[in-house]
Structure 1
Amino acid sequence: MCGHCFLDPPLVTHTHVGLLFQASIKELLHDFKFKASPRAGMLLIELMLASIPDDPGTALVAVPMHRKRARERGFNQAQWLAEQLAKRTGLVVLEAQCNKLVASQRSLNRHERAANLHGAFSIKAPLPAHITLVDDVITTGATINALANAAQQAGATRIDSWAVARTPLGRQ
């Protein structure tokens, strides 16, 4: 846990991330996310499955993408990851919605990211008590925390997260 999480605890109970977002993992994630490389995506899934959370709950919820951004990119990488993980683990994927076209998070600091995502996500269907949120990279945790807020409102009482990689501490 970083110092920010000690001062302002996130809504997630446990975050499971096996890799650092640097060097070859960073290149692999960029190929997957921005070039829609299926080969890179399948390798990322294998890397995620090499370290499965001890208790992922009963369902996965992918970080949703606004439909305009999904059209531009061609796919939602978090949704694709969640669907592949579900096929391999037997978990179900439940839907969340992104209701707000947010600015890119890449150039924003921790506080700007949280403000940018305020009210961005919703979940219409009631959720089971224990779920796991899925994303590709965790930097400050703002995206996961914003989605966890929507998950709490939809009835989840234990919310975990699972991502391919995290930004090394000190680079958020």
Structure 2
Amino acid sequence: MRRLPLRWGNGLLLVVLLAVTVIGVLVGGERETDRAYELEQRLRCPVCKSVSIADSPSDTAQAMRQVVRDQIAAGRTDDQVIDHFRARYGGWVLLDPPMSGSTLALWIVSLAAVASGTTWFVLRWTRRPERREPSTEDREMVAAAVEKLRMRDPIEEQP
């Protein structure tokens, strides 16, 4: 029964930390952000392949960053800028693929993995094995083993 308050305390701590994180994300999103940088984070570098153009030091990424800034200066929307790069490089240029067509399976598998992991965690968290008292046979076996250890001669044990 002593573990029950500890489990509730851990659960409460988890809820509080989650609430602080959500509030931080919501409040932090209100400040002015760099639109060009956000778009650059969404586009994959053709040279580095697994890095956004915002994080890539390649010449191609630098040229793509300049194109993003030029497109924004020309008054284009985010979708128009993304469509420009998608037309030029194909759909793989997006670091986060859209939820349609051939990438739908990727999204479904990812969501299923998150859902099954969450379910496993919740079931593991809530289901604890029942404590059972040792039987008389178990107690006698332990008592015999303890008695056997006490009867040993310590001199025989040394190398």
TM-score by length of 2: 0.22
Q: Which has the higher helix share?
A: 2
Please, what TM-score do these two structures have when normalized by structure 1? 0.21
Larger relative contact order (CA 8 Å, sep ≥ 6):
1
Give 1 or 2: higher strand fraction.
1
Structure whose CA Rg is larger? 2
